[in-house]
Every structure is written in structure tokens, then in C-alpha cells.
Structure 1
Amino acid sequence: MSDEIVTSRVLRGAKLGKLVAGQAVRGAGVTLSVVRAGEEERTARTERALAAAAEDIVTVLGSMKGLAMKAGQLLSMFDPLAVLGRTTIPPEQRERFQRKLAELYDRAPQVSFERMRAVIETDYGRPLGEIFTDFEAEPIGAASIGQVYRARLTDGRTVAVKVQYPGIDVAVRADVKNLALLMRMMRVLTPVFDDHVLFRELSTHFVAEVDYRIEAGNHRIIADMYRGHPFIRIPEVISELCTTHVLVTEFAEGAAFDEIAAMPAPVRDRVGEIVMRFYAGSMLRFRRFTGDPHPGNIVLAPDGTVVFLDFGLFKHMDDTAVEFEMDCVRAAAEYRAADLRAHLVSYGVLDAHAPATADECLRMFHEISGWLLTDADIRIPADAAPTAVFTWADPRRDYFDHWRDQRAPAEHAFARRVEYGTLALLGKLHASANWHRIAREWIYHADPHTELGLLEQQWLTEHA
């Protein structure tokens, strides 16, 4: 099979259209089998349909790369099975489906080393051997716009080299122009993405990702923010070797996310708290954060620190936006329904004459973010993120019609991507903590509730 990436807008649109149509037909077939078949036959048909659907999605989106592949990665973080009968699919089948989709993070169809080597040597203007004493031809990861390799510099340092797919910048811009079709695919597979501003925001930032010099700058900002941190580590950027199409950083040794998820509960709980502190804490404390929390970006180092990777999607929120987020959390946590609705109206999220009542606003917040608002130890179940997302988008809820025409500003849609992405990670870890007490450090400026919180407070004091 050719590893040439299709860059034509028309051809990429046609591939997406075929995928959308195929999944819609497959979904209808499974739904019909649920109605007509017996239990054993229904299970067998569903199993075959899910296997075929996952294979199609990984093959098509993985080979397309770009924004199309990013859409598939988003699907694997949540629950793309509504079209196939969300309430009727056995958990083990759902798990196998999502495991296959998860291949889009690090086992997607690869581009040959010869073609990727040409990208490196073109950008550097010299042979590979003049820069690296060793360069492993097999990539350690295949992402949406590039592949990652392990290499060794002439000074002996082991590095991670992310190389952009040839022609991916053209493909990404084609995907942005095909945004309506991409959104249609998301609607077919996961209705919650129907015309969601988050996807528009994502596409805007994704165009910037095709210049690795921008990502290197984002990476340096985050590395500076967390340098010397007791349990969060950001690999250093090798700035002199970063170009438009090549990004070089320190190599992060350690356990991958799926290995962490199989570790004992105390380890998973600790990593879960660190994950929350990094993604949510960066946004609420520093106003700068990465918008791509997913398993491929997390490594547990041998010394117990958690290493975070990939800063192509990077966001800065101003103080007003962050204060609005925290005002809403405080009002919801304290059951001040009228104040919560007033915040939403004054900020422009909710129309003053919208039929959504104060009590409905409060109930919606607790149903989709109860894990963060409840002052109790909570072990996050595997389905927490998709349940929250579908709760918010469930047309059977009495507040659905009241909110369907309301649109939050783009930066807050991006914040929800971080919230639900973080929740999905905690669910995959099955992590437990009093998440509300951790969040109070940022939202109420409260004293730390955990040992990690005390360590972080000491670090903040020393690095003020």
C-alpha cells in the first residue's frame, strides 16, 4: 500500500464522505439486528459490525492524517457508539472498539522512513549522519501530522525527533476547508459534536501546528513554567535543531499510559492527581495550558515524575475568562442557582430571556461536572467522560431544548475539551481523589489538601 498522503481537498472530502456513509449504513444495520435477532445472533452481528467500523475508521483516518485523524483521536477519548445503539452494546464490545480506535494515537499507518528522512535532510540542508550518530528507522509513535523517532545526537544525548509528514500542511488546510463534512462525520458518530464551536476552535489551532517552530515556542513556555517542579516534568526543547518540519526534544524514558493504567491503585491515583494538576491547574493557575490531554502525551518516569508531551495545541485565557470559569464553579459547588444563572447571562453564555431556569442551570452543572463540584472522594469510572458529554447533549433531558441554541465563547469550548479530556484520562486510570478539594487550591486559594498539593505549594513559594 502506498504511504502517500492524499492532499487534494476533493479527494480527502470524498474519502470522508464514504466513511460517513458507511458508518451510517452500518449503524442502521446494527440497530435493525438488535430489534430482530436473538441474543446470541445480536451479539455476533454487533461484534462484527464494531470490528469493521473500527478497522475502517483507523484505516481511513489514519492514512489521511491531519485534522481527519485528529477527529478520530477525539472519538477514541469519548464514546463514538451512539449511532450503533448506545444502550445495547455490551461493555466488552465497546472496550474492544475503543481499543482499536486508540491505535490512532501511536500505531496509525506509518509513512516510510525514506520519505521522512528526506523531510529532515531537506530542512537541515545536510545528511542525517552529520546531526545524529544514531537514528532508529522504526518510529516510536505515529501522530496526526508527524511521526516520532528515537535518535542520539553527536554529543551523546538521546532525543525524540518529531518529523512532519510530507505534504501534511496542504492536507490540513484541505481538511479545514472540508470542515462541514468533518463535522458531519462527528455528528454521525457522536451527535454531541453537532455544530460545536470546539471543533472550529480546534481547526484554527490545528493549522498553526503544521509549523513546528510555533510548537517549539509553546513547548518552551510550558517547560519554563514547570522547570524544577517536584512531580511534573516537561522535556527540554533542543531549539537549534527545530525547524518548520522537525521538532527535537529530550527523550522521555518511562512507562506509557496503558502500562500506568495496569498498575496498582495507589500509583494510578497519584498519576491521576498529577494529570489533573497539570491540565486543569495550568489553565486556572497560569492561564496558559495545552489543549490536548490524551494517553499518548503522558509518560511515568522511573523517578516517579510524570512527563507531559506535545504542545502543538496551546491556549492562553485572559483573567476575565478564567474568573468566569471559577465564578461558575463556586456558585455551582455552593448551590447558588440564581447566582450561577446570573453569571452565565452577564458573560453572554446564556440569553437573559432563555427558558433555562436557575435550577436547571444548577442541575446541568452538577450532572456534567459533579466529580469536580462534590466534596467527597470519588473514583472516576471508565465511562465518566462520555456520560458527561452525552448527558449534556441528551435530547431527552428537559433542559436540552433550552440550551441547544446557546453558544459559549470559543475559549470556553476549548476549556471544556480540556475538562472532558482530563476526565477521560482519569476514567481510564480509574483514579480516586477528592477532586473538589484539589480544585479549591485554584478556585478558593485554599490550603493544599494532599501531599502532592503541599509539595507543589512549596515549589510555587520557592519559584514565586
Structure 2
Amino acid sequence: MSNNRWSDLITVLYSGKNVIQSMMNKPVGSNQFISKFNNHNTASTKLDLNIDKNKNNDKNSGFQLILDDDSGLQLTDDQKNPEITYIKSKGYAIPSSQTSRFLHFSKLALGMGVGFLGEYTKRSLSAQDQQHSSMFSDSNAERMADSFSRMRGAALKVGQVLSIQDENLLPPKFVEILEKVRKSANPMPRDQLMATMEEELGEKWRENFEVFEEEPVAAASIGQVHRAVLKDGMVVAVKVQYPGVADSISSDIRNLIGLLKMVVPETAFIDKSLESARKELLLETNYLNESENQRMFKKFLESSDVHPSLSKNMYVPEVIERLTTRRILTTEFVQGVAIDKINDQTHSQSSRDWISKNIINLCLAELFEFNMMQTDPNWTNFVVDFEKKRINLLDFGACRRYDMSFLKDYFKSIEAGVERDKQSVLDYSLSLGYLTGDENSLMLDAHSESVMILAEPFSKRYYNEQGISKYAFNDQQISKRIGKLIPVMLKNRLKPPPEETYSLHRKLSGCYLVCSKLKANINCTNLWKYYQAKFNEKLKDIK
């Protein structure tokens, strides 16, 4: 992997600019109005923003909801939910001071630099394939996994995002090693756990529970999860935040910026990218905020207006408000199989298609119906309950609300991408602030193509042998094709993308990658038509 690809990847990390970094460059345009691009010369071309507010798109003037016939898609695998497993560890105290965390970052950077030189020398002497950078050696992956697991917080988020990258962006072995970062961090020591429970729920906190299991069932970047039983017999999940993690986020981001500026190109706008991540992470550390998000999503999915497949197939656990504070979140305990455990060797095509279609359905609903998105694509946030035939949705700390002023043009850009209307894609990109109007033709071509690739699953151009609209995610290689456009956009773009798109595109790229890994072959066209009709009707109401 070239140094440019390394730089690009680091830019993305957890602002969402990973595989779909290009999509951040990517347009969000409109096929409804806006200017004409002049002749596309390699020299910069001035865009003239001239939106006709009165011109209506009459393609969708008839309001008709098109629902899929999903009768052929179902969870066909007869599988019991797995037994509960516990993290067997004495725990490691999280380094909480700015100085100690800076030293961890410095030690990691030094270790990776030494590892890079050693691996580079070894490969040079053995004339090995240099497709992937020596920076991504197995030894460096082990260094990152160990360091991030101990530090938690913002540092661990980096490792988790790296672990769900496409194999075209990172070597498979590197991703495999980092997967242990995503699946489990080091839990906190028992004394820190007990102190946090007492600080948040009082000295007699145990009186709220019939049983509280001290060994966690999960440990992640910000907190760890314990299984417990309330006095009324309800089984709950108690998420306990690591002490000091909220205070460490800003210093972690500063340390990351300092380190990454050494390898990231200026056009990656790393400061803006990581500032967006900082704000998002600070929100995640307030579990009261997360509990509100979770209640909102539960309400959305139980609404009579939601797509019927979502209300039937998606489930949000109940929040126990009386046992929820800024640093403790108590919810209904749910079980199932995380989607990273599902593949074409273990589960049927029908089950994998059912899972994928529901995830795409939810993603479209979040954007164009809820106007609010859970932006963390971590695969462990989607847990398939084969016994109850549903997908349990977890972790609502990273949620983002979007203004209609942004969504309107963003929707129109996707609509233009579906129709492969390059002019409208570029026009709406200018309207949204993706472009300045002075970009050269290389940037404009790469930018518009990335949007059209993003919108491709919703197009009517893809059919199976029976003439039914189907999109084979693994065959089409969305991530790989967009990845090839990234260097062009990094080199030629003139401004950072809209701030809203950092987390949005992280979620979209994660959803597409899930569908690719599940080798989904599904009809997304009717899903798109359903939300297209509803959103265009919504636009009429706000004019």
C-alpha cells in the first residue's frame, strides 16, 4: 500500500472517511436544479450556482408507496442463540492523565516506526510484494491492538474503525489481528468498577439488583457491560463507563492530530476530521444522551408510519431510566449472534439476504424518514436473534440529527446518482458545499463517479437471470471502486466536505461492507422507491 493510501486511511479513521472517504469528497447534488458546468478542461472550471427554486421534479409527482414482497426472504437457519460468555481478566486500569496517555501514544508511534523499518528492510531483501505498506505489518497490528486495548477511549475507537475496513484497503492479516480490538477491550479492575457503581448509584447500589455479575460480558472503547437481574426478575445489561475516559478524549484527539500530521496530506483536512470525532465521542460519554437516543429509536421503529419490515424485524431494547446516569446505562438484556459471526459458510443465502436488506432498509429510514442516524457501523451493534427472528440494535451513543436543509439536497444528489445524472450530482455538490466551483475536471469526474457508485445499489440497471432487480454487493466491489478514486480526490479537492457527512458516510460505508461480506444479493430498488416517494411527499409539505 502506498504512503498516500496510508495517509488517506488515517484521515478517515472515525470521522467516516474510510473506504468512502471518496464519498466525503463525494457529491451531494441535485437533479432538480442548479447550474451548468462549463467545458471540462484540466484547468479549473468555474461553477455558476443558479438554483431554480420553482422547477419541480415531476418524475415522482404521483405519491405511491412501493412495498417489497419479502416473502422469499427470511431467517431460514434453525439456530439457538449462543451461550453467554464472560471476559476472564483481572482488568487493567485505564491511563487517565494527559501525560500518561501522551506517553502511550509516543511509545506506539516509536514502536510502529521501528517495526516499519524492520519490515521494510526484510521485504526489500526478500523482494516481497509491496502492495501493502510495511506500516501494516503483523507486528505493527499487534502493537496497535495491545496499545489501543489498554488505553480505551478515543484511541480504541481508532482500532475499531481500522478493524472493519475492506480488504482492499488493509491487508487481511492486519484486519484479522485488529479484530480482537473490536470484539473486546481490556476491562477495568474490580476496584474501579465498584467505585463507579457507588459514585453513580449510591452506596447501596446492590439493593437494586437480585443478581449483579461482576465479570463483564463485553468491554469496548468507552465502557464495559455486565449482566444483572432486577428484583422483579427482569434480566438487564448494565453498561459502566471507564473512569476518566470522558476527560481523556480531547487530549487524545490532540495527540492523534500531532502524530497524524506527520503522514497525512494537507488536503485530508485532518484537524476538521478529528474535531468532528472529538465532538461525537464527547456525546457518547454521556449515557443520559444515549438513553434518550435509544428511546427515540424505539419510538421510531414502533411507529405505524415506519416501513412494516422494520417494525417487524428490528428491535430496540427498553431503557431502565431509574438505573441510568451519565456514566451508567441500564437496558433490557438481549441475545443473539453478532453479524460479524455470520458468513456464507455458516448461514444460508436467504438469511444473509434478509439481514442485509433490513440493514439497508434501516439506513434509508434513518436518513430520509427519521432524519436521525445511529452512525456507528460496528458489527457488534447488530445482533441477530434467530429464535425471535429479529435484529437487536445496540449502542445509540453515536447518533446524529440532520436538518432538512441538508437532507433535501443530499437526497437529491443520491436521486441523481441513481439516474446517473452527472450534471445534477455536481450541481447539488456545489449547493451543499462539497465543491467550490474552481475544481478541475479530474476532481469533478472522480467526485461524480463516487456518488453514482454509492447510489448504484438502488439503480434499475442490475437484474438477475430471472429478470428481477437484484444487486450483488460482493461482485460489484463498491469499496474497491471508490477506493481507486480516493487518491485523485485527495490530490485535487479544494475544500473539506460538509461536516454532516463525516459520520454519515462512516455508517453508509459500514452498511455496504456488511452486505458485501454477507455476499448479499438483494433488491434495493423497491426500497429506494419507497423512501423516494415518502421523502418527495415530505418536501412538498415544507415548501
TM-score, normalised with respect to structure 1: 0.83
Deviation at 1:269, TM superposition (A): 1.0
SS in 2 for 1:249: strand
| Change over 3 Å in CA distance of 1:258–1:331 after alignment to 2 | closer
Residue pairs, 1:278-289, within 5 angstroms: 278-289=362-373
Aligned counterpart, 1:154: 231
For residues 34 and 440 of structure 1, the distance between their equivalents in structure 2, rounded to whole angstroms, comes to: 51
Alignment match, 2:13: none
Go from structure 1 to structure 2 and tell me whether the alpha carbon gap of 1:256 and 1:400 turns closer, same or farther (over 3 Å shift): closer
Contact residue 105 and residue 255 of structure 2 kept, 8 A? no
Q: Residue 323 of structure 1: CA displacement?
A: 1.4
How is 1:20-99 mapped onto 2 (pairs within 5 angstroms)? 20-37=109-126, 50-79=137-166, 94-99=171-176
Pairing 1:204–2:279 present: yes
Give CA deviations for 1:384-415 in whole Å, capped at 9, x if unaligned.
46525633422xx4x55332x23221112221
- Partner of 1:258, secondary structure, is helix
Per-residue Cα deviation, 1:309-328 (whole angstroms, up to 9, x for no partner): 00111100011211111111
Matching residue of 2:195: 118
| Residues 1:73 and 1:193: Cα distance change in structure 2 (over 3 Å) | farther
The change in CA–CA distance for 1:116 and 1:280 in structure 2 (over 3 A counts) is farther
Identify which range, 179-188 or 168-177, moves more after superposition.
179-188
Aligned pair in 2 of structure 1 residues 114, 9: CA closer, same or farther (>3 Å)?
Answer: closer
2:388 and 2:116 map into 1 onto residues whose CA distance is 46
1:378 match: 471
SS at match of 2:137: helix
Contact 2:119 2:134 in 1 (8 A): no
**Unaligned segments of structure 2, at least 5 residues:** 1-89, 304-310, 463-469, 537-543
Mapped contact 1:183–1:193 kept (Cα < 8 A): no
CA deviations 1:329-383 (Å, max 9, x no partner) are 1212222222221111122221112213755443232345544556422322399
Q: Which residue of 1 aligns with 2:417?
A: 332
1:420 matched to 2:509? The reply is: yes
Are the counterparts in 1 of residues 226 and 239 from structure 2 also a CA contact under 8 Å?
yes
**2-structure distance, mates of 1:9, 1:81:** 35
Higher RCO (CA-CA < 8 Å; seq separation 6+)? 2
Residue pair 1:368, 1:388 contacting (<8 A) in 2 also: no
Distance 1:202 1:382, change over 3 A: farther
Q: Percent identity?
A: 24
1:107 to 161, 180, 184: 184
Deviations, residues 135-185 of structure 1 (Å, cap 9, x unaligned): 222211111110011111111000011001112122223223434136449
1 CA distance for matches of 2:438 and 2:183? 47
- Opposite residue 365 of structure 1, the aligned amino acid is V
1:98/1:225 CA distance change after superposition, 3 Å:
same
Is 1:363 matched up with 2:452? no
User: 1:265-284 to 2 correspondence within 5 Å?
Assistant: 265-284=349-368
Q: Distance between the aligned counterparts of 1:220 and 1:121, measured in 2?
A: 25
Instruction: Give the direction of change, closer, same or farther, for the CA distance of 1:412–1:363 in structure 2 (3 Å limit).
Output: same
Q: Distance in 1 between matches of 2:168 and 2:150?
A: 22
5 Å-filtered alignment, 1:396-411, equals 397=488, 400-403=490-493, 405-411=494-500
Specify the alignment match of 1:391 in structure 2: 484
* Separation in 1, partners of 2:263, 2:292: 31
CA distance in 2, matches of 1:15, 1:383: 41
- Rounded to whole Å, the distance in 1 between the matches of 2:512 and 2:148 is 25
**1:260 correspondence with 2:337:** no
How big is the shift at 1:29? Answer: 3.9
Letter in 2 for 1:95: P
- The structure with more helix, counted as a fraction of residues: 1
Aligned counterpart, 1:318: 403
The 3 A distance-change label for structure 1 pair 230 and 193 is farther
Deviation at 1:279, TM superposition (A): 2.7
| Deviation for aligned residue 1:49 | 7.4
Matching residue within 244, 262, 272 for 2:326: 244
Assess if the C-alpha contact under 8 Å between 2:257 and 2:274 holds in 1. Answer: no
CA distance in 1, matches of 2:484, 2:99: 36
CA distances 1:91-130 after superposition (whole Å, capped 9, x unpaired): xxx3343132122223222212332122112211133430
Count of aligned pairs:
428
1:461 — aligned with what? none
Long gaps (5+) in structure 1: 87-93, 448-464
CA distance in 2, matches of 1:104, 1:267: 27
Larger Cα-atom Rg: 2
Note the C-alpha offset of 1:46.
Answer: 10
Residue 295 of structure 1 corresponds to 379
Alignment of 1:352 onto 2:445: no
- Using structure 2 for the length normalisation, give the TM-score: 0.72
